[in-house]
Amino acid sequence: MRFSNRISHMDTSALRNVLALTARPDIISFAGGLPAPEAFPVEDLRRAADKVLSARGPAALQYSASLGLSSLREKLARRHRAQGISCTADDILMVSGSQQGLDLAGKVFLEPGDAVLCENPTYLAALTAFRSYECQPLPVETDDEGMVLEDLERKLAAHPEAKLMYIIPTFQNPTGKTWSLERRKGVLALAERYGLPILEDNPYGDLRYEGEPVPTLKSMDTAGIVTYMGSFSKVLSPGLRLGWLIAAPALLEKYASAKECADLQTSTLSQMVADTYLEDNDLDANIRRISALYKKRRDLMLSCLERDLPAGASCTHPQGGLFLWVTLPEGIDTTALMPVMAARKVAYIPGVSFFAGRDVRCCLRLHYSNAAADQIVRGVETMCRVFRDTLAKG
């Protein structure tokens, strides 16, 4: 068989192996990005599904509009207007999870060899999605406030042909960091100057458990260069596979064509269930409930790390979302230590996977939302003992 060049850029096996390992029931996993099962409002969704199937069964099981269900898009537009994004239902395209949004952005913007500016580190599966279009991720340095503007400007000047910028400015995956308002304005201004479209991925933004919300880039986007991407995965359920894009009309049209080629439309049944859930329940109450649960787990993980991490190590203090990021002293290789960790029945994702074009071995991502309190205590203790022992051996 002769395969496309494209498929050779879609190698997800390394991560699949880590996730297969961490799916073992005897492993305490801080690796995969799964929401906590107790975060799902199962009963409310069951009632919504019953109602949809008994009142509008044939319609729910039928094909529907490729842009998505208008009543759901209207509700989303109302939510986003309240958060400062000026939009109507007409500006929204429903997608099959925001992961599909990444793929559609690739279809709409990328040719082989094109450059995509991104944070360094960034969401691993976004890098894979863009690489599947045979493009080059062009990493921009980041600090605690977001993309470093000087580095962004340098890269933009050196690569005026860059086609797209991909960013996660709030509770970033993998670091948990949130960009300051100044950086958001600075990045938007530079992108406008260079005519560079931005894809703003915000699946975690609603899960804030301390501090004040920072405006999205989309809410400040007067030039219409930002595509905003939202998702129900972390606030309701990833199993629904529902995400959405918000973009200026001419751009949304392009995404809609790409979407039709990919899968015609997003699941009618899922959309109707979500729409009915939103009609009959208070999503914000669910978000407050989940945030309280995740905050407790974050606090516990941070206090365990503070106690157990070796001298010279540090970690981020996310104000929301699901992840935190640990930087260990140079010399520790978090990838090489994976088998040792597996033998001790604990798992994380090695940091190197999240960097485009930089071999950083001493970092790791921890996901604190899916482990129970006793697992967090035991898991962090075990993991940190391995780090301390490794450093002691030199």
Contacting residues toward ligand PMP, per CB under 6 A: 33, 97-99, 123, 168, 173, 201, 203, 231, 233, 238, 243
**Minimum distance, C-beta of residue 125 to ligand PMP, in the bound complex (Å):** 7
**Minimum distance, C-beta of residue 168 to ligand PMP, in the bound complex (Å):** 5
Which among 21, 126, 28, 64 is positioned nearest to 356, based on CA atoms? Answer: 126
**Minimum distance, C-beta of residue 140 to ligand PMP, in the bound complex (Å):** 16
Q: In terms of CB distance, is 28 or 127 closer to ligand PMP?
A: 127
Q: In terms of CB distance, is 29 or 98 closer to ligand PMP?
A: 98
**Minimum distance, C-beta of residue 19 to ligand PMP, in the bound complex (Å):** 12
Q: In terms of CB distance, is 168 or 377 closer to ligand PMP?
A: 168
Q: In terms of CB distance, is 23 or 223 closer to ligand PMP?
A: 23
* Closest residue to ligand PMP using C-beta atoms: 97
Q: In terms of CB distance, is 168 or 258 closer to ligand PMP?
A: 168
Cβ atoms of 371 and 29 closer than 8 Å: yes
Q: In terms of CB distance, is 41 or 243 closer to ligand PMP?
A: 243
Cβ atoms of 217 and 198 closer than 8 Å: yes
**Minimum distance, C-beta of residue 131 to ligand PMP, in the bound complex (Å):** 15
- Cα–Cα–Cα angle for 267, 271, 277, nearest 5°? 150
Q: In terms of CB distance, is 95 or 272 closer to ligand PMP?
A: 95
CA distance linking residue 142 with residue 221, whole number of Å? 22
Cβ atoms of 302 and 210 closer than 8 Å: no
In a 10 Å sphere around its CB, with 0-12 CB exposed, 13-18 middle and 19+ buried, how is residue 120 labelled? buried
HEC assignment per residue over the chain = CCCCHHHHCCCCHHHHHHHHHHCCCCCEECCCCCCCHHHCCHHHHHHHHHHHHHHHHHHHCCCCCCCCCHHHHHHHHHHHHHCCCCCCHHHEEEECCHHHHHHHHHHHHCCCCCEEEEEECCCHHHHHHHHCCCCEEEEEEEECCEECHHHHHHHHHHCCCCCEEEECCCCCCCCCCCCCHHHHHHHHHHHHHHCCCEEEECCCCCCECCCCCCCCCHHHCCCCCEEEEEECCCCCCHHHCCEEEECCHHHHHHHHHHHHHHHCCCCHHHHHHHHHHHHHCCHHHHHHHHHHHHHHHHHHHHHHHHHHCCCCCEECCCCECCEEEEECCCCCCCCCCHHHHHHCCEECEEHHHHCCCCCCCCEEEEECCCCCHHHHHHHHHHHHHHHHHHHHHC
**Minimum distance, C-beta of residue 222 to ligand PMP, in the bound complex (Å):** 25
**Minimum distance, C-beta of residue 243 to ligand PMP, in the bound complex (Å):** 4
The first and second tokens of residue 340, run together, are 């040792």
**Minimum distance, C-beta of residue 343 to ligand PMP, in the bound complex (Å):** 27
Q: In terms of CB distance, is 277 or 387 closer to ligand PMP?
A: 277
**Minimum distance, C-beta of residue 3 to ligand PMP, in the bound complex (Å):** 25
Q: In terms of CB distance, is 237 or 276 closer to ligand PMP?
A: 237
Q: In terms of CB distance, is 170 or 390 closer to ligand PMP?
A: 170
**Minimum distance, C-beta of residue 332 to ligand PMP, in the bound complex (Å):** 25
